């Protein structure tokens, strides 16, 4: 896939599966996003100590599971036994942390496209990028569209590129630097993803002229969404899955 290729992804993307309406990065969240009409979801991929790719946003376990400690220091056997749903509400109690393999089966069976953000644990950027990309390439071999792999970490993106050069990649930025396009192109990315506050028509046009697509996070306000749509944005990541109509994208 090249930057000039037709863009295969939906405009609206459900953040961490279903925004705030279900426990993030769980199958319950992806199912809820689908029920609201979303055909693409963003989620966070990290690694266990023994190299299993699974979904978790934070470096530590306390916020979204009943576990404790630094996640990357724990085995998949231990992580797979954690409750990743009760923190959000009793009806989600017992919801597990999904492996990337479990998510692949779920998404492929339902036609759900994915933006997989590589979220390395402390000091684990290269290993996480390499294994996450290699596993994604294996799980989605022969499938279309391939997941869009993204990361804030240049080390993780470089490792992902080297491990699975055929996967599309996006460079994540919190604040868009002047050389964002150059940084993304240097890593063979097809897109940049940036916080909405740093994007305007000029920045989007500059990226398009460089052959890059542009996505924005986390857009929950209708006025911001309309401003970015008018500026030519290629996709919006939102928590507000119950307030936007994904059929409009």
| Active site positions, annotated | 15, 57
Bond before 145 cis per omega within 30 degrees: yes
Which one, of 90, 91, 87, 106, lies nearest residue 43 by Cα? 106
30 contacts: CB under 8 Å, gap ≥ 6: 14, 17, 18, 41, 43, 103, 106, 107, 112
**Strand pairing report for 53-55 and 40-47:** antiparallel
Contact 27, 102 (CB under 8 A): yes
Residue 95 per-residue DSSP state? P
């Amino acid at each position: 896939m090249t930057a000039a290729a037709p863009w295969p992804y939906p405009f609206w993307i459900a953040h961490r599966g279903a925004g705030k309406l279900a426990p993030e990065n769980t199958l319950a969240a992806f199912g809820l996003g689908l029920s609201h009409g979303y055909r693409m979801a963003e989620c966070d991929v990290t690694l266990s100590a023994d190299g299993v790719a699974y979904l978790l946003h934070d470096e530590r376990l306390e916020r979204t599971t009943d576990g404790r400690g630094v996640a990357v220091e724990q085995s998949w056997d231990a992580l797979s036994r954690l409750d990743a749903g009760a923190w959000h509400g009793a009806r989600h109690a017992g919801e597990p942390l999904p492996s990337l393999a479990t998510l692949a089966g779920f998404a492929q069976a339902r036609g759900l496209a994915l933006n997989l953000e590589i979220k390395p644990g402390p000091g684990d950027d290269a290993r996480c990028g390499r294994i996450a990309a290699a596993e994604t390439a294996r799980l989605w071999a022969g499938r279309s569209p391939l997941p869009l792999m993204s990361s804030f970490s240049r080390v993780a993106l470089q490792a992902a590129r080297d491990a699975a050069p055929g996967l599309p990649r996006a460079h994540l930025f919190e604040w868009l630097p002047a050389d964002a396009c150059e940084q993304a192109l240097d890593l063979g990315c097809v897109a940049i993803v940036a916080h909405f506050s740093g994007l305007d028509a000029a920045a989007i046009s500059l990226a398009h002229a460089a052959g890059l697509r542009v996505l924005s996070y986390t857009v929950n306000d209708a006025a911001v969404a309309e401003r970015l749509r008018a500026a030519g944005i290629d996709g919006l990541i939102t928590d507000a899955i119950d307030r936007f109509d994904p059929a409009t994208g």
